[in-house]
Amino acid sequence: MSGAAAGAITLDGMPLTDLSLEFLRENVALLPQETLILKGTVRENIACGRPGASDEDIERAARTAAAHDFIAALPEGYDTRIAPGTAALSGGQLKRITLARAMLRAAPVLVLDEPTAGLDSVAARQVVQPLRRLMSGRTTIMITHDLSLAPDADRVLVVDGGRLVEAGTHTELVARGGMYARLAGVGALTEETLVLRL
């Protein structure tokens, strides 16, 4: 982890740079913008979130991620082989497999980078409820241009040109009538702007 250019990034009061990589891997789950699928079975792809997980735990995570039904319908169910770029599953289905992996992992801190990126509106809607279940009870940082996810946030940070320009709840920021309110009115953020979900 590289340090902050200014200020400090801490986890439970400890500077991130003072924490071991092992500690971070145990306590922080990252869902990057690009859906990461490994060459192997659906079961292996979910289980890599917690090696040694039981089949029951894997299925429970898949159910919570709204993935079990489509997985069970695959030719070999959880033993169906998949790989990066697989055409057998939709982007939304692959995203739900990675959500199941994160649910199985159950890390207390979750970092989501554009969790609905690359999904059509139908697939994005299918991912939102599992995302909410995944975030429940966890410290979550969400980087997103999709403002439909912001109203649930405890705190929204609006960054423009690398600078924090607004902070507050969705309701507070809309009431202020600033940049966030303007962006919420058009429903999209500029490329240089991020909303972090905490």
* Pick from 14-28, 37-51, 182-196: least confident: 182-196
Rounded CA separation 91/116 (Å): 10
116 versus 72: which is more confidently predicted? 72
The superfamily in CATH containing domain 10-144 is P-loop containing nucleotide triphosphate hydrolases (3.40.50.300)
Helix axes 55-64, 121-135, angle to 10 degrees: 120
Which pTM does this prediction carry? 0.80
Q: What are the CA-CA distances from residue 168 to residues 8, 138, 144, 175 (Å)?
A: 20, 19, 16, 10
Q: Which tens digits make up the pLDDT trace of 71-106?
A: 999 999 999 999 998 878 988 899 999 999 999 998
Q: In the 8-state DSSP scheme, what is residue 53?
A: -
Q: Which tens digits make up the pLDDT trace of 27-69?
A: 999 999 888 999 999 999 999 989 899 999 999 999 999 999 9
